């Protein structure tokens, strides 16, 4: 092949694959990414181990869903209050405190498993993950708020894509590894590994440069949170990005049913469960690593709607199959659609939020992204208890599609949204067009990598 013929192919690959320039340019960003990678892997181990233990003790998908819903209110409160705090306090110190608190929760789960390996107490499996969820809201809001301070403004969207890939890698490797470890070493070993992962994350945060408050003199609290919520009022672009993700996760994420499906439909054990949890992450990782094309899409609101409909369709089909390879392929397809939705939703919010509200809007975004699946766990568990696991999965997928169509109809400002960021422009000053007029945008808000 001639040199001239090879150059277009190399350029095409560069346009398709993630740009890693922020990692090469910023030491602080490398440290943040490295610590978060280890922490995400450890957290995913616990994410699988807790529902596995609960199902082994109760044999109830509803109980698994209830474990997740108990995390909802601490998570929302931690995200909102944490977002308020990161605009007012030293962000590095807040992140260090969050690592210690979350490590203590995982250590409590490990001790519970150590005391009686054959029949651990059930209540710590509800209480400790709920506390950890609250602390994780503070952790995520702090990380999201400091990212724009570590990279160039023009690289914020690239940094978002890197974190999406990192998070999805954790979703792939973590659950699959958890399944193998649960079958071999047991839950207590999994929990102690999670504690160690928080130690690595703590060291990484300690080594980054000081991260002062985003708004000196700002006082965290309910009034500060209300200020962030008032900003969202009347802005259909941001409302649509939040609401369509809630719709997808409440109706279209049947993860609370995975323990039951692994046993009853697919005839497997802990390893099968790990693969079910890992499959959406595998598809999302593939999607995240090939997001170089998304900058050319201008109708980003419409793109989110299409991606969520694709997610719902894949979940519906997943509920209709009983062959494990086909089920894993459908979950992977759903994960790919999900990460595309997440990238576009992040971009919409980043170009619509002023810098002074970065922490608070990041906290709200985290509450939406991570709170929705908890409600979805309860919804799928309740429907499964009443009508069966298959009906719960299929009806949830169809409801997800219907909800996306309803939101597209009710929020024309979201459906008609146009964004033309330009590949080399800084994020500040870019406009978002919904009715033909150009509106100024200042600042950014990094979205927590979502599972929806």
Mean pLDDT of 223-243: 85
- pLDDT over 90 (residue 5): no
Write phi, then psi, for 374 (nearest 5 degrees): -65, -45
How far apart CA 337 and CA 397 sit, in angstroms, is 13
Please give the angle made by the CA atoms of 79, 81 and 84, to the nearest 5 degrees. Answer: 105
List beta partners, residue 417: none
pLDDT in tens, 273-316: 888 988 888 898 888 888 767 766 778 899 999 999 999 999 99
Q: What is the pLDDT of residue 387?
A: 93
Per-residue tokens: 64: 């698994």
| Pair 292, 12: CB distance under 8 Å | no
Residue 162 has which token pair? 């890197």
Task: Choose the most confident range, by mean pLDDT, from 17-26, 71-80, 404-413.
Answer: 404-413
**Confidence at residue 215, expressed as pLDDT on a 0 to 100 scale:** 62
pLDDT tier, 424 (very low <50, low <70, confident <90, very high otherwise)? very low
pLDDT at 240: 92
pLDDT in tens, 194-210: 999 999 999 999 999 98
pLDDT at 325 over 60: yes
pLDDT at 204: 95
What pLDDT was estimated at residue 84? 86
Which of 137-146, 149-158, 339-348, 423-432 comes out lowest in average pLDDT?
423-432
- pLDDT value of position 22: 83
Higher pLDDT, 107 or 89: 107
**Residue 7's pLDDT is what?**
57
Write down the pLDDT at residue 154: 63
435 has pLDDT over 70: no
């Amino acid at each position: 092949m001639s040199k001239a013929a090879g150059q277009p192919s190399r350029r095409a690959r560069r346009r398709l694959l993630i740009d890693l320039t922020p990692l090469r340019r910023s030491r602080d960003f490398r440290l943040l990414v490295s610590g978060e990678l280890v922490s995400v892997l450890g957290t995913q181990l616990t994410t699988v181990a807790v529902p596995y233990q609960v199902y082994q003790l109760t044999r109830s998908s509803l109980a698994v869903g209830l474990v997740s819903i108990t995390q909802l209110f601490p998570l929302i409160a931690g995200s909102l209050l944490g977002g308020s705090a990161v605009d007012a306090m030293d962000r590095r110190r807040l992140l260090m405190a969050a690592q210690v608190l979350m490590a203590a929760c995982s250590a409590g789960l490990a001790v519970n498993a150590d005391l009686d390996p054959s029949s651990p107490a059930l209540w710590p499996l509800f209480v400790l993950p709920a506390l950890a969820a609250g602390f994780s809201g503070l952790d995520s809001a702090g990380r999201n708020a400091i990212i724009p301070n570590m990279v160039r403004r023009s690289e914020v969207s690239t940094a978002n894509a890197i974190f999406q890939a990192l998070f999805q890698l954790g979703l792939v490797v973590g659950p699959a590894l958890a399944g193998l470890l649960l079958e071999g070493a047991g839950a207590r070993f999994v929990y102690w590994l999670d504690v160690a992962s928080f130690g690595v994350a703590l060291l990484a945060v300690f080594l980054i440069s000081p991260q002062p408050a985003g708004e000196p003199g700002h006082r965290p609290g309910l009034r500060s949170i209300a200020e962030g919520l008032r900003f969202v009022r009347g802005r259909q672009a941001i409302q649509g990005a939040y609401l369509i993700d809630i719709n997808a996760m409440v109706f279209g994420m049947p993860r609370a049913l995975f323990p039951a499906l692994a046993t009853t439909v697919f005839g497997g054990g802990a390893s099968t469960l790990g693969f079910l949890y890992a499959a959406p992450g595998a598809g999302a990782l593939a999607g995240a690593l090939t997001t170089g094309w998304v900058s050319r899409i201008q109708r980003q609101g419409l793109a989110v709607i299409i991606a969520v409909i694709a997610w719902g369709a894949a979940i519906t089909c997943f509920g209709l199959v009983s062959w494990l390879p086909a089920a894993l392929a459908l979950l992977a397809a759903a994960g790919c659609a999900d990460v595309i939705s997440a990238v576009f939703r992040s971009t919409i919010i980043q170009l619509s939020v002023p810098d002074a509200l970065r922490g608070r809007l990041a906290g709200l975004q985290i509450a939406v992204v991570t709170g929705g699946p908890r409600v979805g766990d309860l919804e799928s568990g309740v429907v499964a208890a009443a009508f069966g696991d298959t009906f719960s999965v299929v009806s949830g997928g169809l409801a997800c599609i219907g909800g996306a169509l309803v939101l597209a109809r009710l929020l024309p400002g979201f459906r008609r949204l146009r964004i033309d960021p330009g590949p080399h422009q800084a994020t500040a000053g870019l406009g978002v067009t919904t009715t033909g007029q150009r509106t100024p945008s200042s600042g950014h808000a990094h979205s927590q990598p979502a599972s929806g």
